[in-house]
């Protein structure tokens, strides 16, 4: 298989963190002030880029040639997966955003995100093992007592043990409130016996760590029905005794899924307590002492919200790598003559108009999505560490609104965008010898993971738009209106700001129609929700990439055409122009559809779908 990791520089990360985002405050937080500054971006990311090329990319092919297998209750993973996991955990990359002590040297969230973006592009299948271990450790860090932290965190952080999140069951997929897993009290009030079955558990088993620590949702007898009665338990594959020794915990892997992509990742079916001897530690309050209310879903959402961000970001990583490969292929492949000068001879296909359009379409989406993602990662740093309560609250509001956008938009658009990158190869793109087939198959899961994108859209409309009586969402829209008003006189980007203004007007008209449907026909909400989420993300991305373009245009004029950064800055401006003129118009197209209110999909009986 041809080289799969084609990302070749970190310049856009430098622009985002050093030039565009207001990151001075973050680097001045006490946690970072003695370790990092804005000038350290290159020193952190350059070695990661080299590691991705030299160490991580070579492992990616094994996901296809040596996929995960299951026999006699045990799994076998690609041979290089375990050594790679241990290397990254031992070097601290997998837990580089977890505080394990007051003086822990951790990365700012936005810088940590850049590290993980590169690693994921080099091997998407590997990333869930790292992210899930980090997420599970983070939950124990946040909600566990000192005993549990001491028992689990050191081995999880150094790679001796891995971690997962155990939610989905055969009869309860995204509707977690219907789970059947039960927890029964023991003589120890913190330890419960666990019985149940889980499916689709990513990283649910492996052959390279001593133990796997599952963060497991179950209902204690006597707790309320639905999501409000669910509790969260630390359920290790092997029970950890007081002296640190391990013993069987009656927690079995009963099979693995045979997936479209991500072939090196173990997606496991698990059975707990078949012999009545699976045990777990309760995190948080016992619902029997809390009016039947469990804390499991609230706790799990800490992990899930960041996991949703990371899922969208992994999709973006795949999009970036797909177009980087397409770019390299287009530079190297010579075919055809230019329509405008056929006598000049054959040219590299990157010079053909449709290929340039394809690559610009990729560049514009990538830079717009990346701008959206890193704006929100900055908010994670602010919410966690800023001393000003108003700053923390504003950051929290942005995270709440933007999380479904960041999860769903890249993972929805990635499928067709990577399809366009494949198209640029011609017939070669359909062949397994070229990397985009694997990238496409690996990417598709992200629109399904962590709540399907329909669920994300209903979260946006049903919850996020109505927080504090709609005030939070209204402020989010108003910020974009204010940005447009402050910049609409920009001569270099006048058409683009005009399009943003048109999109904002259409979007607000669409919101009025949406509000009307809540009173007249609630079925219209789920009918249009996914398209509304896409339009919301395109509007937000358009605002962010235009903000970048204003700065990049200024920088280009300052440095001049001879400067080595001139092409970078003018490329940023071009990407923004493409996005505002070719993508953002979808916002008013969706608005027209929603306002028109076509109900043809609702009006027909279901038997019309027979073919």
Query: Structural domain boundaries of the chain?
Result: 465-600
Query: Contacts from 463-472 at CB under 8 Å and sequence distance 24+?
Result: 464/400, 464/401, 464/404, 465/511, 467/397, 467/400, 472/397, 472/400, 472/401
Phi, psi of 85 (to 5 degrees): -60, -45
What percentage of the chain exceeds 70 in pLDDT? 97
Whether the Cβ atoms of residue 114 and residue 17 lie closer than 8 Å to each other: yes
Poorest-confidence range of 279-293, 365-379, 399-413? Answer: 279-293
Poorest-confidence range of 34-43, 204-213, 455-464? Answer: 34-43
- Pick from 100, 152, 174: nearest CA to 451: 174
Whether the Cβ atoms of residue 436 and residue 418 lie closer than 8 Å to each other: yes
Catalytic residue ranges:
450
Angle at 548 between CA 547 and CA 552, to 5 degrees: 125
pLDDT computed for residue 93 by the predictor? 79
Q: Mean pLDDT across the stretch 84-104?
A: 71
Q: Mean pLDDT across the stretch 440-445?
A: 96
DSSP string, 88-139: HHHTTSTTTT--SSTT-----HHHHHHHHHHHHHH-TTTHHHHHHHHHHHHH
Mind listing the pLDDT tens digit for each residue in 25-43? 999 999 898 888 888 899 9
Q: Mean pLDDT across the stretch 310-334?
A: 96
Kind and range of the H or E run holding 529: helix 524-559
Q: Mean pLDDT across the stretch 192-198?
A: 96
304 or 349, higher pLDDT: 349
What percentage of the chain exceeds 90 in pLDDT? 85
Mind listing the pLDDT tens digit for each residue in 112-124? 999 999 999 999 9
Angle at 308 between CA 305 and CA 309, to 5 degrees: 95
Can you list the alpha helix ranges (DSSP code H) found in 388-470?
389-423, 436-443, 453-462
Mind listing the pLDDT tens digit for each residue in 124-179? 999 889 889 988 998 999 999 999 999 999 999 889 999 999 999 987 766 676 78
- Pick from 9, 6, 517, 13: nearest CA to 313: 13
Mind listing the pLDDT tens digit for each residue in 210-255? 999 999 999 998 899 988 999 999 999 999 999 999 999 999 999 9
Q: What is the β-pairing status of strands 246-248 and 191-202?
A: unpaired
Rounded to a whole number of angstroms, the CA Rg of the chain reads 25
Residues 6 or more apart whose CB falls under 8 angstroms from that of 252 comprise 73, 270, 271, 272, 274
Can you list the alpha helix ranges (DSSP code H) found in 197-352?
296-332
């Amino acid at each position: 298989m041809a080289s799969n990791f084609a990302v070749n520089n970190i310049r856009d990360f430098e622009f985002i963190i050093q030039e565009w985002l207001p990151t001075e405050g973050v680097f001045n937080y006490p946690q970072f002030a003695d370790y990092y500054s804005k000038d350290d971006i290159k020193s952190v990311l350059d070695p990661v880029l080299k590691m991705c090329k030299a160490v991580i990319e070579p492992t990616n092919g094994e996901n296809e040639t040596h996929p995960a297998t299951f026999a006699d209750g045990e799994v076998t993973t690609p041979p290089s997966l375990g050594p790679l996991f241990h290397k990254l955990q031992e070097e601290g990359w997998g837990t580089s955003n977890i505080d394990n002590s007051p003086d822990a040297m951790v990365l700012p969230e936005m810088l940590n995100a850049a590290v993980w973006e590169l690693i994921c592009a080099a091997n998407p299948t590997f990333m869930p093992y790292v992210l899930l271990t980090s997420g599970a450790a983070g939950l124990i860090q946040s909600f566990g007592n000192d005993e549990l932290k001491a028992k689990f965190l050191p081995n999880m952080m150094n790679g001796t043990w891995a971690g997962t999140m155990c939610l989905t069951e055969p009869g309860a997929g995204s509707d977690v409130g219907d789970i059947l897993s039960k927890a029964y009290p023991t003589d120890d009030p913190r330890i419960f016996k666990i019985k149940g079955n889980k499916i689709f558990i990513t990283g649910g088993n492996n052959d390279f760590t001593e133990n796997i620590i599952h963060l497991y949702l179950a209902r204690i007898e006597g707790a309320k029905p639905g999501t409000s009665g669910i509790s969260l338990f630390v359920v290790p594959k092997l029970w950890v005794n007081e002296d640190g020794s391990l013993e069987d915990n009656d927690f079995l892997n009963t099979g693995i899924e045979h997936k479209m992509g991500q072939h090196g990742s173990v997606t496991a079916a698990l059975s707990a307590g078949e012999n009545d001897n699976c045990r777990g530690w309760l995190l948080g309050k016992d619902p029997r002492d809390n009016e039947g209310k469990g804390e499991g879903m609230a706790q799990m959402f800490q992990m899930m919200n960041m996991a949703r961000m990371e899922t969208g970001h992994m999709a973006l990583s795949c999009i970036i790598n797909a177009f980087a490969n397409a770019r390299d292929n287009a530079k190297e492949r010579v075919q055809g003559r230019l329509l405008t000068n056929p006598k000049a001879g054959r040219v590299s296909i990157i010079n053909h108009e449709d290929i340039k359009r394809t690559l610009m379409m990729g560049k514009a989406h990538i830079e717009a999505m990346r701008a959206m993602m890193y704006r929100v990662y900055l908010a994670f740093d602010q919410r966690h560490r800023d001393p000003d309560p108003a700053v923390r609250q504003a950051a929290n509001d942005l995270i709440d609104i933007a999380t479904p956008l960041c999860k769903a938009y890249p993972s929805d658009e990635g499928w067709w965008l990577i399809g366009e990158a494949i198209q640029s190869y011609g017939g070669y793109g359909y062949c397994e010898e070229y990397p985009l087939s694997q990238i496409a198959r690996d990417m598709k899961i992200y629109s399904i993971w962590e709540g399907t994108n329909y669920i994300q859209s209903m979260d946006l409309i049903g919850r996020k738009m109505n927080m504090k009586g709609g005030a939070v969402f209204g402020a989010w829209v108003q910020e974009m209106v204010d940005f447009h008003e402050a910049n609409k006189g920009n001569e270099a980007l006048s058409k683009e700001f005009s399009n943003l203004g048109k999109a904002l007007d259409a979007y607000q008209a669409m919101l009025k129609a949406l509000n009307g449907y809540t009173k007249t026909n609630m079925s219209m909400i789920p009918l249009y929700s996914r398209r509304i989420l896409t339009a919301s993300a395109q509007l937000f991305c358009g605002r962010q990439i235009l903000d970048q373009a204003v700065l990049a245009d200024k920088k280009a004029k300052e440095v001049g055409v001879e400067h080595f950064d001139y092409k970078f800055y003018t490329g940023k401006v071009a990407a923004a122009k493409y996005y505002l003129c070719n993508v953002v118009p979808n916002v008013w197209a969706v608005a027209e559809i929603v306002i028109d209110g076509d109900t043809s999909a609702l009006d027909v009986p279901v038997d019309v779908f027979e073919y």
